[in-house]
Structure 1
């Protein structure tokens, strides 16, 4: 039986950062290929104006501008983006210090090419830049991909989940629903840390079958069970805690709004909602590593990393009272909210 309350002896932060930030350089490359920074210098613009001029979609542009703001290459004042002094000197094509040619050899990287299309359409590209592949959401319906991706999220989740479990106050709570749960690692770690709690792992086929096997192997089957379903079609009604761990970031605002409404309808009064994720600051000036991770999500899913302010607004709109954000490990953290 695995000890799901144990932490590693060493800090894996750098290993997470390499993988999380992998696609950021390609988004920078795509912007330089368009000579975007030179245009912005002459046309300070709001996000909406950038979209209108270039024919871009709001979600990828928000991710792009957040990335640039966290690096200090652009500044935002009263909703209008301006090129910063660093941007003027090193990203403007008329500057003697322009670094565009340094990135020119990266223009043909598949992910950099993908971004030009994602910016225009707002739709995710093929997984890992494979044009023949399904986007992530469709790929998860395929047995081989679902098994591989679930294994990846499971090994990541072992560290993240026990850190989350140790940070949560779940006194007086009875049953947790882990929504879009994948392997069930979060439900298992939380159950291990909070012995009074029962848990249900909720996911679609074929992920549900993978979860059942792993939960049994971890010795958690007596307190963690699996229920199969589509989270957009309704949730079980017997849980007083809902967990969305690294789930909402896969979806655009419309779908996030829909999922929060479904949770509100399914939870009892006073029910607790937990969002565990990588969060952007409310003013969207950081953290830099989360802005870089958001590039990967924007490329391959329908989502992005949301800011604490965006989540708070969506939670209030759905009928919850949101709490403050709390850090855990490797740039992740959580927000809790209570059903009014």
Structure 2
């Protein structure tokens, strides 16, 4: 990991949004290519406007990847949802259906054998994530995180992103009267350290499993926050959460998991928080009607390919929080197509 700035209140003078979007949207073109070339999806949908269940039955798709595909297509203006029935839009009919003189399927055909394109055909039907980066020799993402080499590389990637994103969030969250934040699945500890940098009264604990816990401790020490940010080693699903925290943070964690696991994690958080405790979900959020934003729909395609999760909508998170017992608050934008929601116990 590169040398780390100690001042977590310093901000860049330029906007990195394009650099973020290139990386986050990297796989979206492959997903659209799979739909156009291999599935001729828009030709079928134009002839057969259908519900999500009808689409799933015809193509043999599973729910999670189909939801991500429909969101991506809606965000691009290729499909629209009319009272639960999905239709190809005029743009899709003219440019992505086989009978149209403007059909672009041949233009996409040369991309049909890209490894990520082929991965999507499998993920759509099996709901099992492909290996990280399309590397067939690699372990799946969650297993890979248990290895030292991959966990170091992945944590460094998330740390450099967090230096920018964590500040944007920490400035907006009201932590008046709060004492200790628990950063669940906190990786390098960049979010916990940033919150402490912006809220001088706050203490924090980073919870993560080995070997990430050792990486986190080193990063926290190098940033000079060893007296305010501690590390707890544990599995967030299996081990009891520290009991002395009145704020829980899930930052870019829930999007790695399916609905069942998200429900489990929210229930674990609710049980561990004291009455009046605060939950913060920091992530890239799909809007309530699942028509965008386009950069988040593209990022969701990457997550769906390589993890068990996706980008959830603001409505999905609000409903999941209520089901766990929380009272959800409103969504707020932060930076680089990210934002946060809070909920109280």
* CA RMSD, 1 decimal: 0.7
Alignment correspondent of 1:247: 253
Cα distance in 1 between the residues matched to 2:65 and 2:136: 19
Q: Which residue of 2 aligns with 1:152?
A: 157
Post-superposition Cα deviations, 1:252-274, rounded to whole Å, max 9, x if no partner, equal: 10000000000000000110000
* Corresponding residue to 1:256 among 257, 262, 272: 262
Partner of 1:168: 173
| 2:131 matched residue in structure 1 | 126
Q: Distance between the aligned counterparts of 1:120 and 1:302, measured in 2?
A: 14
Q: Give distance in 2, aligned partners of 1:95 and 1:157.
A: 46
Q: Partner residue of 1:67?
A: 72
**Per-residue CA distance 1:292-314 (angstroms, 9 max, x = gap):** 00000000000000000000000
Gaps spanning 5+ residues in structure 2: where? none
Number of residues of Structure 1 aligned to a counterpart in Structure 2? 339
Question: Which residue of structure 2 aligns with residue 52 of structure 1?
Answer: 57
Spell out, residue by residue over 1:32-56, the C-alpha distance to the aligned partner (whole angstroms, 9 max, x if none): 1211111111111111221122111
Q: Name 2:7's counterpart in structure 1.
A: 3
Deviation digits for residues 172-216 of structure 1 (CA, Å, limit 9, x no counterpart): 000000000000000000011001010000000000000000000
CA distance in 1, matches of 2:155, 2:284: 19
Structure 2 match to 1:79:
84
Aligned ranges 1:215-234 → 2 under 5 Å: 215-233=220-238, 234=240
Inter-partner Cα distance in structure 1 for 2:48 and 2:275:
49
Report the Cα distance in structure 2 between the residues aligned to 1:160 and 1:303, rounded to whole angstroms. Answer: 20
Corresponding position: 1:274 with 2:287? no
1:118 and 1:246 map into 2 onto residues whose CA distance is: 22
Alignment match, 1:20: 24
Distance in 1 between the 2:142 and 2:324 partners?
24
- SS of 1:231's equivalent? coil
Looking at structure 1, the residues matched to 135 and 43 of structure 2 have their Cα atoms a distance apart, in angstroms, of: 31
Residue 287 of structure 1 corresponds to 293
Match of 2:199 in 1: 194
Q: Does 1:304 align with 2:323?
A: no
Q: Does the alignment pair 1:104 with 2:120? A: no
TM-score of the two chains, using structure 2 as the length reference: 0.97
Following superposition, the deviation at residue 227 of structure 1 comes to 0.2
CA deviation vs aligned residue, 1:52-79 (integer Å, no higher than 9, x gap) = 2211110000000000001111000111
Q: Deviations over 1:279-298 (max 9, x none)?
A: 00000111000000000000
* CA–CA separation in structure 2 for the residues paired with 1:76 and 1:156: 34
Runs in 1 of length 4+ with deviation above 2 angstroms?
Answer: none
Structure 1, unaligned stretches of length 5 or more?
A: none
CA distance in 1, matches of 2:53, 2:253: 27
CA distance in 1, matches of 2:92, 2:84: 18
| Corresponding residue to 1:314 among 308, 317, 320 | 320
2:20 aligned with 1:31: no
Give the Cα–Cα distance (whole angstroms) in 2 for the partners of residues 250 and 77 of structure 1: 29
User: Which residue does 2:186 correspond to in 1?
Assistant: 181
Indicate the SS of the match to 1:232. coil
Structure 2: distance between partners of 1:47 and 1:204: 38
In structure 2, the residue matched to 1:325 is 331
Distance 2:54 2:309 in 1: 21
TM-score by length of 1: 0.99
Displacement after TM superposition at 1:237 (Å): 1.4
Match of 2:340 in 1: 334
